[in-house]
Each structure stands twice: as structure tokens, then as C-alpha cells.
Structure 1
Amino acid sequence: MMQKYGTEENKRPEKLDVDNITNKLIGDFGRWQLRISILMSLLKLSLAWYQLNIIFMAPPQEFWCAKPESFAKYTDEMWRKICVPHVVEYPCLIFDPDILALAPKMDRTLIPLVLCRKFVYDESLFTRTITSDWNLVCERRWYIYLTQCVMNFGIVAGGIIFGVAADKYGRKKPLMITILIQTSASYFACVVPWFWLFLVNWFILALGCGGISIISFVLCIEIVGGKWRTIIPVLYQLPFGLGNAVLAFLAYWLRDWRQLEFALATISSVYLMYWFWIPESPRWLLVTGKIEKAKEILEEAAKENNMNVDVHGALSLLIRKEESKKSLGFMSLLRSRSMRRKTLLLSVDWFLTGLSFFTFSQYLGFISGNIFLTVAMSGIISIPGGVICLFIISKAGRKRTLGVFQLITTSCFIAIFLIPKDGRINEWSRLIFAGTGFAAMAGSVSALYLFSGELFPTVGRNVGISGVTMFARVASMVAPAVVSMDYKMPGLTILLLIVTSFIQVLILLPLPETKGHPLPDTLEEAEIFT
């Protein structure tokens, strides 16, 4: 049975004072909250760039075996025609060029195949890629998938490491460290000479991305109150889709992956100015007993919001323990019965969400042959989903909104599965359902972020969100294997997505609705919220 924190039997003065005092001093939403919310949401641009960067760093690129000097009299087209057996998709194996040079008309079945040692790459679309720089083809092609796995694993690790740091040391300093890591690693990627060094650097960059993702979202939740605690976290997600479009635009004009990385690093370096533009979370300061520091920030916020109140007098009424509350580890959330159930259910939901989102994102790439248009449109399509989510979630609540979006996604997957691929009308129908499904997934991700943040207490919110969203990153590593199932059995990928999307609806049923309830600050307050 659901219980509100304000009931007599569960009334906690400390909890009520933190909520009431901050709202009284700076209001639910004003110029101060608007400024910080915009700054935090802009960080989603860089998160989109680096998570999807592999699309333009290692795009599909035609290649062929380099022509030996003994075949100088042959044109490139003639060489490619005679050296490659027609039974292979890529020119990894070629007929022995030494035998071909001596007997070009010899029966090919008598000529042994040998490995090609040097490749030439088609530079008509992309002048430079990591594929062409480090020959990530043939037996080395799996390195491309390894690169994306390293990114996703780094984001998971960064979310956990910096999530714990943010709960223990505050939001601002860990956030600035992650921004510095992201910018520095992106610049280094422009000049790194060896693939394995690039991979190490890519992991470090991902650590920064993971920390930024968790801390910026939590800060958005903690600075606002009232209905804005629903609106801001949803709007915070929208620039991610815009980041897709910006990435596609930059990649269209910069066809060299190193130039693209330099451009992204330069834009991301602007975030270093956040040290002067954002404060520490006053809510975290109050909950951890750092009243004097909270007073300074709240006085500045009240002044910016034109709130004429006595900050010092209000804070003197704050009831707190002699010792400040300690931050929680992820395992602490699993020791109590109610939080363990909620944490496990959210973990499974995030895994299935990540599996559906990342698998379907790659599936969209097969719909259009224009890689720039595909990436840009996938980002633009996700924006309406977030906006629609905002209107629904403020009225219907978190659980119902998630259920609606996930049922829409499931229905779209079913339609795509049933509509044949043949015919122009069918192709457009599949494209429409694909766009609708992707928009619904984008809306459900926004709602799930908000829902998760409201279920975890302040002293463990960073580590809680980073812990459950980690499973979405784990799922993203599985996504390429799920997509590949379609090659073995057409329609199997979509069929799996139908099942996972429907299971997500069922997982929501045991979780409590958080709409209209204040954020829990302590583990005890989160535990009694069932």
C-alpha cells in the first residue's frame, strides 16, 4: 500500500524541513533553476556524439586488395575483377598474384587463395576512417565491435565510479572532472597513432561520458520542486536527439574521423566553463549537513529568483542529526526488502530498455541507404517522443506513461513484423511504424529516467541510477548479436523486440507510483515508500 511521507505515522521533520525550506527560499522553479537546467541538458549533446560516433568513425566502406607492381598494366577495375573469387563477399582472400601474373588465363580452381596483405579503401564518401587507418577488415573487423563495447563498458564504469563520488563528495567537482576527462580524451583521439592506445583512450573518454550522464541528470532533479520535478528531467533528455543531428551534420562536412573528433573536442571544451557557471547541489549539502555552504548557494539562488526571504533564519530551523548522513553504495540498496525489490525490477527494466533501444537503433540503419540522413532523422524523431511524454507524464503519472509508450512500441514492432518488405507502399508503412516506435522508445527512456530517480534516496541517488542504468549498457553490448540474428532468420530480431517490450510492461506492475510524492532523502524514507 502506498504511503506518503507526510502522514503522521511516517512524518520525519528533517525530510519535511529540507523540502519546505528549499522551496520557500528559492521557489520550485525560477531563473536560477532554468539556467542550471539548460546547462545540464546541453551536456546531452556530447553524450550523443560520443556514444554514436562509431557510426562515422567506422562506417560501411568498400575496400579491395592493393594491386601489385607486376599488374601495373592492368586497370584497377580489371585487377579487382581477376584477383577476387566471386564466392567471397570481401577481398580478404585473393588468387595467388604470382601465379596469376604468369598465367592470367589459368583455371581459377587450380590457383590457391592467399591472404591479401595490403588494402585500398574507397574514399568517395569518407576520406579517412579508423577502418582505413588501422586496416580493421577481414579477421580484424571484430575490432570495430570491440571499440563500441569498450565505449559502453566505459560508460557503465564511469557512471558507477563517479556516481559514488558524487554521492560522497558532491555533484559539482566530480562533474567537472568528468568533463575534463571527456574533452582531453577526445583531443587525444585526434592524434593517437596506434589502435590499442586509441582503445585505452576511448575507454577513458567513456568514463567521462558515464559520469556526466548520471551526475547531470541527478542535479536536474534536485534543484527543482513541485510540477517542475516532472517537467525538467524529461526536457533534459531532448538534446540527445539533437546531438544525433549535429553529429550527422558535422560528419557530412568533415569526412575525416580525426577532423570530426577535433571538432567535437573543441565544442565539448566549452563545458569547462561550467566551473564558473554551476553551483553545488544545495539539496545534497543540506542532507549531508553542510548547512553553511548551502546557505551561500541558496542566498545567491534566492537573489537571482527575486525571492526576498531570510535564508539564515530559515536554515536555523532545519532539524538534523549531529553527524551528517553518509552516502550509500549500490549494495546498500539491496539489503532492505522494499529497495531490493525496486532496484532489481528497475535493473531488469533498464536491461530490456537498452536491448530494445540499441538494437532498434541499429535496425534503423537498414531502412535508408543514406547514413547521414538516417542518423539525423533518428535523432529528430526522438524529440517529439520526449515532448509527448512530458504532456502525458504530468497528468497520468510515471507508471501509466511508461506503460502507454511501451505498448505503443510493442504494437509498432508487431506491425513491422507483419508487413512484408516487398513493395513501395509496404516500405513506407514499415518506415512510419519504425519512426513511431523509435519516438515511443525515446519517450519511455525519458520517463524511466525520471521514475528511477524518484525511487532512490538523495544519499544514494547517483549510485542507484548509475547501477540500474548500467544494465542498459550491458544490453547495448548484446545488441549487435541480436541484430545479426536477422541474417540467419529474417524477422527474428523484431520478434525478440516484441517479446522484450511486452515484458517491460509487466515489470512495471509491482512498482509504486511516484507522482505527487516528495523525493526520499534517506534509505529509511525510500524503504517505507511501497
Structure 2
Amino acid sequence: MEHHDLLRSCLLDQCYYTSRNISRRCTEWRYDNTTFGHTITSEFDLVCSRAYLRSIYQSIYMFGSLIAAPIGGILADKYGRKFLFTIGATTYFVLSLIACWLPTMPTILAFRFLMGLMHTPTMNAAFILGMEVCAPSARALVGMFFALPWAFGTVIWGALAYFIRDWRWLQFAISVPTVILFPALWYIDESPRWLVVRGQHARAIKILQKAARWNGTSLPPEENMKELMRQTQSTVTSATEEGDPTEKTHLQMIWKKMKNCTKQLFILLRTPRLRRITLVVWMTFMFSSTVFFGLTLNALNFSVDPYIYMIFNGLVEIPAYILPAPIAARFGRKFPIIIGFSVTSVCLLALPFIDKDESTLVVTVAMCGRLLLSSAFQLFFLYSAELFPTEVRLQGFGSGIFLSRLGGIFAPFITELLGPLYSWSPSVVFGVFSLITGSILLLLPETLNKPMPETIAELEKDSPNAASNKKNNLEMENTSPGDTDK
């Protein structure tokens, strides 16, 4: 058989060709470049027996995030939000540039994993830092608007992909703009809340004084603030003890640190209220993340233009992140989130009953589900951050992101492997997950206009100083860095 005839047969049968009445496996493929140009699939032949690598390419990034989420939470609660954000953003930028020109699939997968390791701790630290310097009245607005760059990035990603059909140059084009972030790092301060909990009261007061100058407001006397900070710190139940100077060997120090880390991993399940919050947050992050990433990857199963679908995904997310902010500020967090997930479930479960030829209707229903899902998911980021006390906030939030990345790992296999067999099945799976998510949130309390708890003890039960602490906290938050225009 001539070489070009062999390629033609492979194209028709995808994985096998017939020669002299014998079925043989294809070793070369010719790709249709009408929609896509030079892709990672065509460069490394990720088809037939290697098709699973496409799902792994998507999932391994999430696997890196999965591993890093709880570790990043522990590191940020120990060393600070700004520290982790700075290290993570710098490392991610370098890795993303190198990944553009890697020559083999194993090295590409390795760098995808490393980028996933950096992604989640960096984003979590930035988000929690923003929440902890916010006044309560601005928390909903800042928490929702935090996701707007993601929406604009999705639109830009779809547009760039339409014009740049080479996957390596596309990766480079979306990595380079990260450099604009680095000048901002100079002006970011550490979270005063974290500094108080860690006993660094002088630094916390200095940051609060700078914020007060910027806003033209006044603070309580310094001694009063120090007393309040000491009271807050005294209720911390999980503060890591300083290393014992009597320890004589490095082995003993390492063993002690390992025991402390083990305690930290289980602290979120130690007390009843914190345990309930933790379990519900974990389940919500896992299910909602599976739906969120699954809808992003499900364009081909909807039989629509993937570039238009991606751009619409981003455009829909812009109002999805803007509109809920005033709703959350007025009506609370809990029930708007429940309504968002519930209506998303209705939209997704309706998709299998719509004729696939009605592409406009399919996209409209899918985008309605996406809009409500994005609103509920982002509002839940704010909500979950408010539920955990400062003492373990980033650890609790980070462990939730850990579970969300587990959902992100599952999503590509649902769309890539299950979708081609039954095109309706991803929508049904995602719809059921949304329904479960909306139901379990009924177990959580509302956080509207409530000060964020500082310690586990304060969350679980009013201590002798808790009432006065809460009153003083409200006074402090009225002059907190959240009032600044930074």
C-alpha cells in the first residue's frame, strides 16, 4: 500500500487500516486542521492508544493543585499570606515560560504538574489576603470582583486561540503578561489579622496606622490596640510552639515539626462546629469544581465552535461575578448560593432533552447554567473564607481547594471519555452534582454582617472575653486596611 493510501485509511478508520484483509494498527495520522492548527494532540499523536494522555494533560495540572492546596494552607498560616503569594507568583511565571518550549510529552506533563503546585497556593494566599484586609461592608464586593480577571482572561484566551493556532506560541502569549503583576508586589502589605494571631503586634499596628493615614481616619490608642491583640492571640488554640532551645539534634527538631504538621492536618475536624463547616465546604468545593471545569471542557460534546464557546464562557462570567455582589451584600451569602446551584442543576438536566441540531438553544441553556454556576461558585469562595476562623482560615480554605482540584481531575475524564460514548451523560452527571451541592449548604450558617471569627474557641463557644472582643473587632474593622484604596 502506498504511504498516502495508508494515511487515508488510518484517517477513515481512525486507529486501524486494512491491508490484504488483515487489520493493522495505524502508526501515522493525518489531522484535520480546519478548526485547530498545530496542537499538542497533533504534535505528539495523542490519539487511539495514546488518547488518554489528553485527559492526563488536563488532569495532572489539577493533581499538582490537589497536592499543593493543604500544604500551601499550612505554609501560609505559618509564614504569611504575602510571602507565599510572592514566591508562588514568581515561580509560576518562570515555569510557564519554560513550558512553552519543552521537547517531549513527559517533560511537558512534569511542568504542568509543577505549575499546578504553584497555582493553588498562590491564588489562595492572594484571595485570603484580600478578604482579611477588607472591612465587612466591602467583603462581598471585593470577594466577587476578585474573579473578574478570570472572566476577562477566559475571553482573551478564546480570542487569542482563534488567531494563534500554534499551541506553543499561544502558551507564550498568555504567559508573558504576568510580568505586570510584579511591581504590585512592592506595595502589598501582610495581613494584619495574621500578624495579630502570630503575635507580631508591632508590625500589625504599623500597617493599620499606614492604612489610617491613607484614609484620613484615626485609630484607638496604641496601648488599647495592643491589649486587644493580646486578648485575641491568647485564645488561639493551635499556635505552633517555638522550637525548644534544649533540643540537641536536627532529627529531634524534624520529628517535632512532623508532629506539629500532623496536628495541623486534623485541626479542622477537632470541634463540632468547625467539623461541620469543614465537611460541607469540602464536599461543595469538590462537586462544584467538577461541574465548573467540566462545562469549560464540554464544548465538543455540545457540537459548537470551541472558540465561540470559550469566549461566551468568559463573557457570561463577567455579569456572573458583578451581579451577585450587591445581592450578597443585601440578602446574604447562603441562600443566593443555594439558588444558584439549584437552577444550574435544572439547566444541565434539561440539556439532554434538547435536540443537538438546535445549537443556539443548547448554547443558551448551557450558558445560563454557566452564569448561575459561576456566580454561586465565586460567592462560595467568599462565603467559605468567612466561615473559617483566622487561626486556620487559609488552611481550611486551602483544604477546600484541595478537594476542588480533585473535582478538576475527574472533569476531563467525564468529558473526554464518557462524553463521546453518550453525549448527554456529562450534563446529567454535572446536573446531579449541582443539585447535591445546593442541598448540603443548608447545613451552614449565614455570615452576612457578622465579624469573621479570629479563633476556633471563638467560633465554637463564647469565651469570657469573646463578647468584648467581638465588639472591639467591629470597631477595629471600621478602621481596618479594608477601608484603604490600596
Q: 1:231 to 1:251 in 2, by over 3 A?
A: same
Question: Which runs of no fewer than 5 residues in structure 1 stay unpaired?
Answer: 1-67, 97-109
1-structure distance, mates of 2:360, 2:172: 37
Checking the alignment, whether the CA contact within 8 Å between 2:59 and 2:410 is kept in structure 1 is: no
Taking only the aligned residue pairs, the percentage that are identical comes to 27
- The alignment status of 1:478 with 2:410, answered yes or no, reads yes
Match of 1:393 among 299, 322, 328: 328
1:127 positional shift: 4.2
Please tell me the residue identity of whatever aligns with 1:339.
L
Q: Show CA shifts across 1:98-142 (max 9, x none).
A: xxxxxxxxxxxx432333334444455544322233222221121
- The alignment status of 1:510 with 2:443, answered yes or no, reads yes
- The alignment status of 1:526 with 2:459, answered yes or no, reads yes
1:217 positional shift: 1.0
Please tell me the residue identity of whatever aligns with 2:374.
A
Please tell me the residue identity of whatever aligns with 1:503.
I
1:164 positional shift: 1.2
1-structure distance, mates of 2:299, 2:123: 24
1-structure distance, mates of 2:422, 2:305: 25
**Equivalent residue number for residue 144 of structure 1:** 54
**Equivalent residue number for residue 432 of structure 1:** 364
Checking the alignment, whether the CA contact within 8 Å between 1:398 and 1:451 is kept in structure 2 is: yes
Q: Show CA shifts across 1:331-373 (max 9, x none).
A: 1010112211211122112222122222222334433532221
Q: 1:207 to 1:315 in 2, by over 3 A?
A: same
2-structure distance, mates of 1:149, 1:431: 25
2-structure distance, mates of 1:85, 1:291: 68
Please tell me the residue identity of whatever aligns with 1:464.
G
2-structure distance, mates of 1:296, 1:365: 54
**Equivalent residue number for residue 205 of structure 2:** 295
**Equivalent residue number for residue 181 of structure 1:** 91
The two structures have a TM-score, normalised by structure 2, of 0.83
**Equivalent residue number for residue 132 of structure 2:** 222
**Equivalent residue number for residue 47 of structure 1:** none
- The alignment status of 1:361 with 2:293, answered yes or no, reads no
Q: 1:468 to 1:317 in 2, by over 3 A?
A: same
Checking the alignment, whether the CA contact within 8 Å between 2:303 and 2:356 is kept in structure 1 is: no
- The alignment status of 1:384 with 2:307, answered yes or no, reads no
1:220 positional shift: 1.3
- The alignment status of 1:135 with 2:45, answered yes or no, reads yes
Q: Show CA shifts across 1:278-326 (max 9, x none).
A: 1111121122210111222223222222234477455344341687952
1:402 positional shift: 1.0
State the number of aligned residues.
Answer: 436
1:431 positional shift: 2.5
Please tell me the residue identity of whatever aligns with 2:382.
L
Q: After alignment, is 211-220 or 385-394 more displaced?
A: 385-394
- The alignment status of 1:451 with 2:387, answered yes or no, reads no
Highest relative contact order (Cα 8 Å, sep 6+), 1 or 2?
2
1-structure distance, mates of 2:441, 2:82: 33
1:393 positional shift: 1.3
Please tell me the residue identity of whatever aligns with 2:444.
L
**Equivalent residue number for residue 169 of structure 1:** 79
Matches within 5 A, 1:29-428: 71=3, 80-81=7-8, 83-84=9-10, 86=12, 88=13, 90=14, 92-96=15-19, 110-123=20-33, 125-309=35-219, 312=222, 315-320=225-230, 325=236, 326=239, 329-367=264-302, 369-422=304-357, 424=358, 427-428=359-360
**Equivalent residue number for residue 427 of structure 2:** 494
**Equivalent residue number for residue 102 of structure 1:** none
1-structure distance, mates of 2:162, 2:419: 29
RMSD of equivalent CA atoms = 2.5
1-structure distance, mates of 2:409, 2:54: 12
2-structure distance, mates of 1:406, 1:85: 42
2-structure distance, mates of 1:433, 1:85: 34
Question: Which runs of no fewer than 5 residues in structure 2 stay unpaired?
Answer: 241-262, 463-486
1:219 positional shift: 0.9
Q: 1:217 to 1:381 in 2, by over 3 A?
A: same
2-structure distance, mates of 1:125, 1:419: 25
**Equivalent residue number for residue 477 of structure 2:** none
**Equivalent residue number for residue 63 of structure 1:** none
Checking the alignment, whether the CA contact within 8 Å between 1:248 and 1:373 is kept in structure 2 is: yes
Checking the alignment, whether the CA contact within 8 Å between 2:10 and 2:29 is kept in structure 1 is: no
